[in-house]
């Protein structure tokens, strides 16, 4: 799918193709893209992968999908693809339609005992 990834103030944006990874918590971007956008490392996270637990740098980036955008937490990796994680989808109020495999709009959830 087509996405836009940028620095937090969206002054630098890269249009690219990405894969949705419903098994990934956070969105993953390549180190080269993070450098080009000038993203600052904000911390490190332990990440469970198919080869075990590794530590990865974290940052925050502007992500736009289907006209919806926000600043989201991202992991910086040595892979050469952008992977969109489920947290980004939830923040952008999107989900994967299990019948078509395409993204669709979703409603945010809020459970409370009191009515507003």
Are 69 and 88 spatial neighbours (Cβ–Cβ below 8 Å)? no
Residue 116 falls within a domain, yes or no? no
In the predicted structure, residue 114 carries a pLDDT above the cut 80? no
Quickly state the pLDDT bin for 111 (edges 50, 70, 90): confident
Q: How many Å from the N-terminal Cα to the C-terminal Cα in the chain?
A: 37
In the predicted structure, residue 116 carries a pLDDT above the cut 60? no
CATH number (domain holding residue 86): 2.40.70.10
Residue 111 falls within a domain, yes or no? no
In the predicted structure, residue 103 carries a pLDDT above the cut 80? yes
Q: Model pTM greater than 0.85? A: yes
Residue 114 falls within a domain, yes or no? no
C-alpha dist (Å) from residue 44 to 22, 67, 114: 21, 30, 37
Helices (H), the chain: 31-37, 86-91
Query: 36-77: per-residue pLDDT in tens?
Result: 999 999 999 999 988 899 999 999 999 999 999 999 999 999
Residue 50, pLDDT score: 86
Residue 113, pLDDT score: 66
Residue 113 falls within a domain, yes or no? no
Per the structure, the complete domain to which residue 18 belongs is given by 2-105
3-state class (DSSP) for residue 108:
coil
Residue 94 falls within a domain, yes or no? yes
C-alpha dist (Å) from residue 13 to 53, 54, 75: 31, 28, 17
Number of domains in the chain: 1
């Amino acid at each position: 799918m087509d996405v836009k990834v940028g620095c937090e103030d969206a002054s630098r944006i890269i249009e690219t193709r990405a894969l949705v990874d419903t098994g990934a918590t956070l969105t993953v971007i390549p180190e080269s893209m993070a450098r080009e956008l000038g993203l600052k490392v904000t911390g490190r996270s332990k990440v469970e992968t198919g080869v075990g637990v590794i530590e990865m740098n974290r940052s925050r980036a502007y992500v736009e999908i289907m006209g919806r955008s926000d600043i989201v937490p991202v992991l910086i990796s040595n892979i050469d693809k952008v992977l969109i994680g489920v947290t980004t989808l939830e923040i952008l109020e999107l989900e994967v339609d299990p019948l078509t495999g395409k993204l669709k709009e979703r409603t945010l959830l809020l459970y409370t005992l009191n009515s507003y």
